[in-house]
Every structure is written in structure tokens, then in C-alpha cells.
């Protein structure tokens, strides 16, 4: 999905360089998900079970376009 690419690239461009190893691991786990699952997390339809992934999703959702 193009929308996911935009959101994930925004995170990579703005946050990745300063992210901790555990934050990077959580992000890498997220990008392994199926697009519909990841999209559901990013639009708030569903919530990841893991706190680390919830934190990354919150960070991505807060990034300004």
C-alpha cells in the first residue's frame, strides 16, 4: 500500500537514526506484518499486543506530514 510506504518512510527519515536498538527491533517486527494488519494498527482500528510495537505505532502516527 502506498499509504504505508509514506508513513514508514517518514519514520525512517525522521526517527530511525536516533531510535534505540529495541525501538528498531519493534519497527522491524512491524514491517514484517501483512499490510492489512499494519494498516489497522496505523489507523487505530486495532492495537498491537506488544507495548514496544504500540510505542512505535504512536510515534509514526504523531509524525507530521
| The pLDDT of residue 65 | 87
Residues 3-22 have a mean pLDDT of 96
Nearest 10 degrees: Cα torsion 65, 61, 35, 27? 110
What CATH architecture does domain 2-62 belong to? Orthogonal Bundle (1.10)
Extended beta strands in the chain, E state: none
Where along the chain do its domains lie? 2-62
Model confidence pLDDT, tens digit, residues 19-65: 999 999 999 999 999 999 999 999 999 999 999 999 999 999 999 88
Cα 11 from Cα 6, distance rounded (Å) = 9
SS3 category, 51: helix
Tell which residue, 8, 2, 3, has the closest CA to residue 30: 8
Amino acid at each position: 500500500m502506498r499509504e504505508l510506504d509514506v508513513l514508514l518512510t517518514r519514520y525512517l527519515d525522521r526517527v530511525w537514526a536516533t531510535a534505540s536498538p529495541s525501538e528498531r527491533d519493534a519497527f522491524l517486527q512491524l514491517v514484517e506484518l501483512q499490510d492489512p494488519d499494519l494498516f489497522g494498527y496505523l489507523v487505530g482500528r486495532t492495537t498491537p499486543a506488544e507495548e514496544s510495537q504500540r510505542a512505535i505505532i504512536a510515534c509514526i502516527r504523531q509524525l507530521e506530514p
